[in-house]
Every structure is written in C-alpha cells, then in structure tokens.
C-alpha cells in the first residue's frame, strides 16, 4: 500500500534555481510551477489534500458552518470554515476503480495525520476522524467516510464567527406608521429596519411593510406566540460573481450573525434550530421588537413585528417605594433587569436602583429583603442559584452608596413563587422579577 499518496502540506513559497537561460525562460518556468500548483491544489484545502489519482466530483466551501466529530467523550460539534469534498478514482474504462479499497483510503489519511502529530479521534472499517493543531494554536478537524474507489472528506477550520452584523441603537426608538399616500422609493425599499439591520453583502429581493399584522413566533419550548403590530418582511439573497446564489455564506452563519447582534443589544433568544432563529429586543421606552429569521445557504427571510412591550418597565420613585412598603410590606419591581442567564445588571436598571438608594437614605429606619425570582426555564437548582446571585448583586450595588449591610438581606427563590402562568412567554416574563420586602 502506498501511504504517500496523500500528503498534508502548506506551500509558503517556491524557490527555483536557474543557472542560465534569460528572463523569459525564468518567467515560463515560474508560470509552469504556479500552474501546476493550481491544478494540484487550487480546489483543495490548504493543509489537508486529496489522494493523488482521485477526482473531485462534488465540492462545498462555506465561510462558517458546523459538523459533528466523534471523540472518546462522545460527539462534539465544531464550528468554523467548512469544506466538503467527494472524491472518486476511475479506471481506464471510466468506471469506479474498486481496487483502491476504503481501507487503503483511510490508512493514507491516518498516517498522513500522524506525520503531522495529529490526533486520531475515532476509526472503524469505513470512517476516520482526526484533528490537527496549527502553530497558531488553531485546530483543523477532519473526518473521512470511505469505500472502494471513492470517499467523502469533511474539514472544519475551527474558529469563532467574525460577525459583520450590528443592530441600531434602541433606547429612544418609537414606532412610526407609514404614510400610505407616499409611494416608497427604490432607495427606501433597499433600506433595513431602523434597529434590526440586514447583513452586508445581501440584496433585498422583496420587502413588505404593513402598519398592523399578526405574526407567529416560537418560545423556548416551541409554543406558538402570536404578536400583533407593525410588520416588516424581507426576502434576502447573496449572489456570487456569476449571479448565482452564494451558498458559501451558510444558513448557520446568517443565524449566528443575528443571534450575536441580538445578544449584543441585551435581547433574548426565544427559539433556535438549524434553520430558524426567533428573538426579541426591548427598548427603554417600552417598545418590544420581535424578529424571526429563516435561513439557508445564500438566502434568508426576516420578519419583524413592533409592539408595545408585554410588561411595561415601571420605575417607582422613592416616595412610591416607601408608601408601598409601609402599606403592603412589599413591592414588585420590573425595572431591575439582568443579562440573560446571568446576574450582571443591565444599564436600564440604574434608574430604579437610584430610587432605592434615595429611599434608604431618606428613611434611615427601614430594612429590606431583596428577593430574586425566575421563571421555570432551566432546572430548579440552576434557577435557585441564579435568583440568589441576582438578589446579592442588587445588595452589592446599594452597598456602594453607603447603605449599611445590616439594613439589607438578599435571598433567591428560584421558580418556587410564580405570580403568573409559566406556560406563556408573557407569564414567564412577569415571573422574572425582583421584589423588595419590608423587614420588621
């Protein structure tokens, strides 16, 4: 068996010594070298090459996608630049050359990987998974599925997505209805939503805006949420230089761009799958913007609905806080907000926290317990810890303004004390809250 049929290489430069023959001869030799390299390597991965004598029958390259690999600890999902090659070896009659066995194919790749200090992750009689480490501490994952005369190889250059999408500022956003007596210009048709932007490099194939419409979204459990309000719809596509759809920009890359842009604005991911992403972001002045993306390679649909927020972010002043605590012994606060699944306070929370500081300075005798509450998403222990950490974070904030620690307690209750139905998104949002309890 010739295990040198496949070689993993990286061509940095080619030196050619020529003792004579003039400039033209050197140029011709150089061009021949470049041409031969393009023929051998032009369609292939930079490091992991195809076996000599095999022809590419199918090729897919995407800027960002995912694939699963087997490891000793189970299946692992790897994301990054994605390559797929189908390769076939033919005999002199143009038929598949079954004399080049699947075992021989796998052995070629195994020994070539080992020569580069690669790690064999998994192997059987038809499959080989391995990983290479580069000098820059990057990883190249590969898996080969082989039989006699042909094979498929998947390669992932592991890397984080370099996002190119960022949403607009949302704090002072307000809903504006269309003037129906004004015809939309071509330029306006190409513009994106003021907050939820379109991905650079894509073109608008179709755009619709309606002042009022119902649109369905999914929550984390896959339940349907019906939202009503101003509706934007975009049909987007990315074409290559030949005018064909550019499937190299994968659906996953599209969804990941929108996911990270939403989280960057403090938004919440409601639902996600291999082709769908549903999320919403909320402005400081009470506008909820719901969005869903349906994506595949080189295209996506984007639906956006603007509506008043499900729960208005009420900010209680110091006098109102004092009155509620004296009369009812407690007050529910929705103006103290945290990053999703974290105990980090959002900037929007400062206004409400400042009023609590003002109350505690004004009424030196009052003592409070700060309670944290969550919805039922996640397990009990996780929610209990999260609510406890959030309550502690509020107390830590108040301590920075010289509110004495012996006047405050913090306690998390997790999902144990709901005040609304956890089966709906509206109910879960009400259950995610901070309460102040007066201590006698």
Beta-carbon count within 10 A of 184 CB: 12
Higher pLDDT, 21 or 39: 21
Rounded to whole angstroms, the Cα distance separating 141 from 132 reads 6
Rounded to whole angstroms, the Cα distance separating 303 from 134 reads 41
Give helix 318-328 / helix 350-362 axis angle, nearest 10°.
70
Q: Are 250 and 199 in contact (CB under 8 A)?
A: no
CB proximity list for 172: less than 8 A, separation 6 or greater: 283, 284, 285
- Domain architecture of the chain: domains with CATH: 22-158 (no CATH), 186-308 (no CATH), 318-438 (3.30.1330.60)
Q: Which tokens hold the place of 211?
A: 């002042």
Q: Are 116 and 132 in contact (CB under 8 A)?
A: yes
Give yes or no for residue 345 having a pLDDT over 90: yes
- Percentage of residues in the chain with pLDDT exceeding 90? 54
Rounded to whole angstroms, the Cα distance separating 440 from 177 reads 51
Q: Give which of 334, 435, 422 is closest to 378, Cα–Cα.
A: 422
Burial class for 64, CB neighbours closer than 10 Å (0-12, 13-18, 19+): buried
- 């944290």: which residue's tokens? 372
Q: Are 161 and 51 in contact (CB under 8 A)?
A: no
Instruction: Give the pLDDT of residue 168.
Output: 65
Rounded to whole angstroms, the Cα distance separating 154 from 160 reads 18
Give yes or no for residue 292 having a pLDDT over 70: yes
What's the sign of the alpha-carbon dihedral 193, 257, 250, 48?
Answer: positive
Average confidence (pLDDT) over 15-41: 45
Q: Which tokens hold the place of 186?
A: 């071509």
Average confidence (pLDDT) over 219-225: 87
What contacts 24+ positions apart, CB below 8 Å, involve 220-223? 220/270, 220/271, 220/377, 222/271, 223/423, 223/424, 223/425
Q: Are 217 and 228 in contact (CB under 8 A)?
A: no
Instruction: Give the pLDDT of residue 311.
Output: 43
Rounded to whole angstroms, the Cα distance separating 224 from 380 reads 24
Instruction: Give the pLDDT of residue 179.
Output: 39
Rounded to whole angstroms, the Cα distance separating 305 from 216 reads 10
Instruction: Give the pLDDT of residue 400.
Output: 94
Q: H-type helices in 270-337, by residue range?
A: 318-328
DSSP code string of 23-83: HHHHHHHHHHHHHHHHHHHTTS-SSSPPPTT-EEEEEEEEEEEEEEEEETTEEEEEEEEEE
Rounded to whole angstroms, the Cα distance separating 357 from 287 reads 27
Average confidence (pLDDT) over 367-383: 94
Higher pLDDT, 304 or 33: 304
- Minimum mean pLDDT range among 35-44, 226-235, 358-367: 35-44
Average confidence (pLDDT) over 273-284: 88
Confidence tier at 285 by pLDDT (50, 70, 90)? low
Give yes or no for residue 9 having a pLDDT over 70: no
Q: How far apart are the first and last CA of the chain?
A: 85
Count Cα atoms within 13 angstroms, Cβ side, for 203. Answer: 9
Instruction: Give the pLDDT of residue 38.
Output: 43
pLDDT, tens digit (0-9, with 9 covering 90-100), for 48-58: 999 999 999 99
- Percentage of residues in the chain with pLDDT exceeding 70? 81
Cα 201 to its chain centre, rounded Å, is: 19
434 DSSP β-pair partners: 333, 372
Beta-carbon count within 10 A of 183 CB: 7
Rounded to whole angstroms, the Cα distance separating 201 from 239 reads 9
4-13, 152-161, 201-210, 293-302: which is most confident: 293-302
- Minimum mean pLDDT range among 12-26, 380-394, 401-415: 12-26
Mean pLDDT, the chain, whole residue set: 83
């Amino acid at each position: 068996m010739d295990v040198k049929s496949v070689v993993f290489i990286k061509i940095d430069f080619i030196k050619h010594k020529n003792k004579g023959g003039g400039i033209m001869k050197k140029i011709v030799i150089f061009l021949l070298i470049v041409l031969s390299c393009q023929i051998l390597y032009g369609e292939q991965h930079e490091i992991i090459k195809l076996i000599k004598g095999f022809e590419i029958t199918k090729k897919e390259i995407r800027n960002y996608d995912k694939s699963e690999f087997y490891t000793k600890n189970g299946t692992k999902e790897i994301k990054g630049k994605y390559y797929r090659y189908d390769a076939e070896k033919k005999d002199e009659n143009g038929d598949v050359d079954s004399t080049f066995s699947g075992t021989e194919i796998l052995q070629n790749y195994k020994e070539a990987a080992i020569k580069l200090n690669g790690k064999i992750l998994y192997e059987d009689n038809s499959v080989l998974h391995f990983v290479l480490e580069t000098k820059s501490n990057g990883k190249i994952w590969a898996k080969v599925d082989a039989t006699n005369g042909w094979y498929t190889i998947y390669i992932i250059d592991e890397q984080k997505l370099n996002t190119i999408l960022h949403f607009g500022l949302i704090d002072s956003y307000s809903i504006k209805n269309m003037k129906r007596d004004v015809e939309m210009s071509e330029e306006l048709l190409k513009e994106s939503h003021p907050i939820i932007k379109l991905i650079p490099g894509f073109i608008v194939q179709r755009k619709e805006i309606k002042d009022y419409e119902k649109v369905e979204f999914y929550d984390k459990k896959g339940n349907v949420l019906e939202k009503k309000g101003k509706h934007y719809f975009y049909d987007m596509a990315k074409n290559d230089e030949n005018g064909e759809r550019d499937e190299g920009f994968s659906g996953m890359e599209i969804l990941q761009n929108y996911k990270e842009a939403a989280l960057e604005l403090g938004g919440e991911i409601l639902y996600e799958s291999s082709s769908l992403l549903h999320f919403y972001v909320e402005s400081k002045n009470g506008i909820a913007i719901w969005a869903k993306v349906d994506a595949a390679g080189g295209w996506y649909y984007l639906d956006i609905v603007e509506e008043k927020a499900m729960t208005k972010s009420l900010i209680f002043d110091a006098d109102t806080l004092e009155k509620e605590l004296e009369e009812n012994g407690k007050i529910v606060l929705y103006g103290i907000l945290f990053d999703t699944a974290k105990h980090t306070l959002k900037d929007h929370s400062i206004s409400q926290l400042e009023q609590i500081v003002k109350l505690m300075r004004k009424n030196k005798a009052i003592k409070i317990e700060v309670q944290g509450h969550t919805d039922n998403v996640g397990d009990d222990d996780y929610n209990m810890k999260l609510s406890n950490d959030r309550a502690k974070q509020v107390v830590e904030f108040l301590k920075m303004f010289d509110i004495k620690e012996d006047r405050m307690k913090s306690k998390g209750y997790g999902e144990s004390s709901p005040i609304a139905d956890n089966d709906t998104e509206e109910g879960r949002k009400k259950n995610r809250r901070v309460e102040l309890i007066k201590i006698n």
